[in-house]
Chain A
Amino acid sequence: GQQLNQSPQSMFIQEGEDVSMNCTSSSIFNTWLWYKQEPGEGPVLLIALYKAGELTSNGRLTAQFGITRKDSFLNISASIPSDVGIYFCAGHGGSQGNLIFGKGTKLSVKP
């Protein structure tokens, strides 16, 4: 079945640093989504991507839908302590089926 590989698994960074994480798929996706989950809460949608090559920003966050349609990345610029949480990518192949989730990237930010 379809699989998503998300990396890195965890990151420990200093406040102010930039962050980059990515997801790769074993098959083509038509939709890429990025979610953030804060401790004790459910995932919240950050960015949705629907077109190969699409680059979308949401404040300090930027995400891109890879040209091959098999990958996506999320960048966070100038990290702050409230960026801590688990970031999930999710993809959908466009046919019958449900979203496929990556296993998450746990981000820790040291003030």
Chain B
Amino acid sequence: DVKVTQSSRYLVKRTGEKVFLECVQDMDHENMFWYRQDPGLGLRLIYFSYDVKMKEKGDIPEGYSVSREKKERFSLILESASTNQTSMYLCASNGASAGANVLTFGAGSRLTVL
């Protein structure tokens, strides 16, 4: 069964802490994405990557950075967490093939910043 795995399901951090959210996919997908989900706002794209070492800003990149050193792994980094970054974070991936628009999502990482 193909998967996108987000290793941290629930995190509680303090304001100013550096936070790493890890995502790994086993489908050999080229493209990986990070979204945040907030009530009433739906899914908003933070960053995405079309290849190793490549990254592109999404709609709300401020306060975030990403790292893609290996094809299967895409990390979201909060350099200095703030309370307004309390949210559900979703990682997703897809491949450059037929049906490529279909995203496969991880189970999510719920982050609380105190």
List residues of chain A with CB under 8 Å of any chain B CB.
31, 33, 35, 40-45, 48, 88, 90, 92, 98-99, 101-104
Contacts and interface: CB of A to CB of B under 8 A. Distances in A.
B105 A42 contact: yes
Contacts of B107: 40-42
B78 interface: no
A40 B42 contact: no
Interface stretch (B14-22, B65-73, B79-87, B96-104): B96-104
B40 A98 contact: no
Contacts of B33: 98
Given A42-B107, A98-B33, A101-B42, A33 B101 contact: yes
A49 to B, nearest CB: 11
Interface in B27-77: 33, 40-43, 45, 48, 58
Given A42-B90, A43-B90, A88-B43, A99 B101 contact: yes
Contacts of A102: 42
A35 to B, nearest CB: 8
Contacts, number: 44
A88 to B, nearest CB: 7
B102 A43 contact: no
Given A103-B40, A104-B42, A41 B48 contact: no
B42 A33 contact: no
A99 B107 CA distance: 19
A31 to B, nearest CB: 5
A101 B102 contact: no
> Lowest 9 A-B CB distances belong to which pairs?
A42-B105, A103-B42, A92-B101, A101-B43, A31-B101, A42-B107, A42-B108, A43-B105, A42-B106
A98 B90 contact: no
A92 B101 CA distance: 7
A15 to B, nearest CB: 25
Contacts of A90: 103
Contacts of B104: 45
